[in-house]
Amino acid sequence: MKKVILFVHLCLLAFVSHSLAQAVQVKVVNNTSCDVYYTLLGDKKGSCNPAVAGPFMTLAPGGTVLYNASVIPPLAAGDWINGAYVYTSMSWCPAFAMYKIGEPCTGWPASASYYVYDATAACRVCKDVMITAKWISGGTGGTATLVFN
Protein backbone atom coordinates (compact mmCIF):
# COMPACT_ATOMS: atom_id res chain seq x y z
CA MET A 1 0.00 0.00 0.00
CA LYS A 2 2.84 2.39 0.82
CA LYS A 3 4.35 1.71 -2.61
CA VAL A 4 1.05 2.56 -4.31
CA ILE A 5 0.74 5.83 -2.38
CA LEU A 6 4.36 6.72 -3.17
CA PHE A 7 3.77 5.96 -6.85
CA VAL A 8 0.65 8.17 -6.93
CA HIS A 9 2.54 11.02 -5.24
CA LEU A 10 5.40 10.75 -7.73
CA CYS A 11 2.96 10.79 -10.63
CA LEU A 12 1.25 13.89 -9.27
CA LEU A 13 4.58 15.60 -8.71
CA ALA A 14 5.64 14.86 -12.29
CA PHE A 15 2.34 16.22 -13.61
CA VAL A 16 2.54 19.41 -11.56
CA SER A 17 6.16 20.11 -12.48
CA HIS A 18 5.36 19.61 -16.19
CA SER A 19 2.20 21.72 -16.08
CA LEU A 20 4.16 24.59 -14.50
CA ALA A 21 7.11 24.28 -16.87
CA GLN A 22 8.73 27.63 -17.53
CA ALA A 23 11.64 28.48 -19.78
CA VAL A 24 14.46 30.83 -18.81
CA GLN A 25 15.39 31.28 -22.49
CA VAL A 26 13.56 31.15 -25.78
CA LYS A 27 14.96 30.45 -29.22
CA VAL A 28 12.98 32.08 -32.03
CA VAL A 29 13.31 30.43 -35.46
CA ASN A 30 11.83 31.80 -38.68
CA ASN A 31 11.64 29.02 -41.27
CA THR A 32 9.37 31.09 -43.53
CA SER A 33 10.21 33.37 -46.45
CA CYS A 34 8.44 36.31 -44.75
CA ASP A 35 9.23 38.67 -41.90
CA VAL A 36 7.47 37.53 -38.70
CA TYR A 37 6.30 39.71 -35.81
CA TYR A 38 6.07 38.80 -32.12
CA THR A 39 6.30 39.89 -28.50
CA LEU A 40 7.67 37.62 -25.77
CA LEU A 41 5.87 37.37 -22.42
CA GLY A 42 7.09 36.37 -19.00
CA ASP A 43 6.97 36.78 -15.25
CA LYS A 44 9.07 36.37 -12.14
CA LYS A 45 9.87 32.79 -11.13
CA GLY A 46 7.03 31.03 -9.36
CA SER A 47 4.22 32.30 -11.57
CA CYS A 48 2.74 31.10 -14.83
CA ASN A 49 1.03 34.42 -15.39
CA PRO A 50 2.50 35.95 -18.56
CA ALA A 51 1.99 39.42 -17.10
CA VAL A 52 5.00 41.28 -18.51
CA ALA A 53 5.38 41.90 -22.25
CA GLY A 54 8.59 42.70 -24.06
CA PRO A 55 8.93 44.93 -27.11
CA PHE A 56 7.39 44.29 -30.53
CA MET A 57 10.02 42.39 -32.53
CA THR A 58 10.57 41.40 -36.15
CA LEU A 59 12.61 38.44 -37.39
CA ALA A 60 13.74 38.22 -41.01
CA PRO A 61 13.22 35.12 -43.16
CA GLY A 62 15.59 32.30 -42.18
CA GLY A 63 16.59 34.09 -38.96
CA THR A 64 17.26 32.53 -35.56
CA VAL A 65 17.79 34.37 -32.28
CA LEU A 66 18.13 33.35 -28.62
CA TYR A 67 16.74 35.51 -25.81
CA ASN A 68 16.72 35.33 -22.02
CA ALA A 69 14.10 37.07 -19.87
CA SER A 70 16.12 40.31 -19.69
CA VAL A 71 14.68 41.18 -23.13
CA ILE A 72 11.37 41.70 -21.27
CA PRO A 73 11.99 44.63 -18.91
CA PRO A 74 11.70 44.66 -15.88
CA LEU A 75 12.49 40.94 -15.91
CA ALA A 76 16.06 39.72 -15.55
CA ALA A 77 18.05 36.73 -16.75
CA GLY A 78 16.76 33.69 -14.87
CA ASP A 79 13.13 34.87 -14.77
CA TRP A 80 10.60 32.91 -16.77
CA ILE A 81 9.46 33.31 -20.37
CA ASN A 82 6.13 31.58 -20.77
CA GLY A 83 4.46 32.74 -23.96
CA ALA A 84 4.27 35.06 -26.92
CA TYR A 85 1.92 37.28 -28.86
CA VAL A 86 2.34 36.61 -32.58
CA TYR A 87 1.08 39.15 -35.08
CA THR A 88 -0.11 39.12 -38.67
CA SER A 89 1.54 42.44 -39.51
CA MET A 90 2.75 45.79 -38.25
CA SER A 91 0.12 47.50 -36.08
CA TRP A 92 -0.75 50.14 -38.69
CA CYS A 93 -1.82 47.54 -41.26
CA PRO A 94 -5.63 47.11 -41.54
CA ALA A 95 -5.12 43.32 -41.43
CA PHE A 96 -3.39 43.52 -38.00
CA ALA A 97 -4.37 40.70 -35.64
CA MET A 98 -2.75 39.11 -32.58
CA TYR A 99 -2.68 35.51 -31.35
CA LYS A 100 -1.56 34.24 -27.93
CA ILE A 101 0.52 31.05 -27.71
CA GLY A 102 2.56 29.63 -24.85
CA GLU A 103 3.34 27.11 -22.15
CA PRO A 104 0.55 24.67 -21.21
CA CYS A 105 0.18 26.31 -17.78
CA THR A 106 -0.94 29.59 -19.43
CA GLY A 107 -4.06 27.92 -20.80
CA TRP A 108 -3.19 29.29 -24.26
CA PRO A 109 -2.85 27.11 -27.36
CA ALA A 110 0.63 25.97 -28.39
CA SER A 111 0.21 27.17 -31.98
CA ALA A 112 -1.61 29.54 -34.30
CA SER A 113 -1.91 29.60 -38.10
CA TYR A 114 -2.44 32.84 -40.02
CA TYR A 115 -1.44 34.95 -43.02
CA VAL A 116 1.46 37.39 -42.62
CA TYR A 117 1.35 40.79 -44.30
CA ASP A 118 4.38 42.71 -45.50
CA ALA A 119 5.51 46.01 -43.97
CA THR A 120 4.88 48.10 -47.07
CA ALA A 121 2.20 50.76 -47.37
CA ALA A 122 0.17 48.31 -49.49
CA CYS A 123 0.15 45.76 -46.63
CA ARG A 124 0.07 42.75 -48.97
CA VAL A 125 -0.13 39.08 -47.96
CA CYS A 126 3.38 37.65 -47.96
CA LYS A 127 3.76 34.76 -50.42
CA ASP A 128 -0.01 34.04 -50.22
CA VAL A 129 0.64 31.14 -47.80
CA MET A 130 -0.48 30.70 -44.20
CA ILE A 131 2.27 30.28 -41.62
CA THR A 132 2.12 28.49 -38.28
CA ALA A 133 3.70 29.86 -35.12
CA LYS A 134 4.36 27.09 -32.59
CA TRP A 135 5.52 27.29 -28.95
CA ILE A 136 7.60 24.27 -27.91
CA SER A 137 8.10 24.02 -24.16
CA GLY A 138 11.65 23.79 -22.90
CA GLY A 139 10.65 22.41 -19.50
CA THR A 140 11.37 24.07 -16.20
CA GLY A 141 14.55 26.12 -16.45
CA GLY A 142 15.15 25.12 -20.06
CA THR A 143 14.99 26.77 -23.46
CA ALA A 144 11.60 27.05 -25.15
CA THR A 145 11.35 27.43 -28.92
CA LEU A 146 9.05 29.73 -30.85
CA VAL A 147 9.17 28.45 -34.41
CA PHE A 148 7.50 29.94 -37.48
CA ASN A 149 6.87 27.51 -40.37
Beta strands in 1-149 (DSSP E): 23-30, 36-43, 52-53, 57-59, 64-68, 80-87, 98-102, 111-114, 131-136, 142-148
Confidence of residue 20 (pLDDT cuts 50, 70, 90): low
Q: What is the mean pLDDT of residues 39-43?
A: 93
What pLDDT score was predicted for residue 49?
A: 82
pLDDT digits 0-9 by tens, 113-136: 999 999 888 999 999 899 999 999
pTM score, two decimals? Answer: 0.83
What pLDDT score was predicted for residue 77?
A: 82
Structural domain of 88 = 2-148
What pLDDT score was predicted for residue 12?
A: 36
Q: Other C-beta atoms within 10 Å of 39: how many? A: 16
Confidence of residue 4 (pLDDT cuts 50, 70, 90): very low
pLDDT digits 0-9 by tens, 78-100: 889 999 999 999 999 999 999 99
- Decide if pLDDT at 3 tops 80: no
Phi and psi at 105, nearest 5°, equal: -65, -15
Is residue 73 within 8 A of residue 39, CB to CB? The reply is no
What pLDDT score was predicted for residue 47?
A: 76
Number of domains forming the structure of the chain? 1
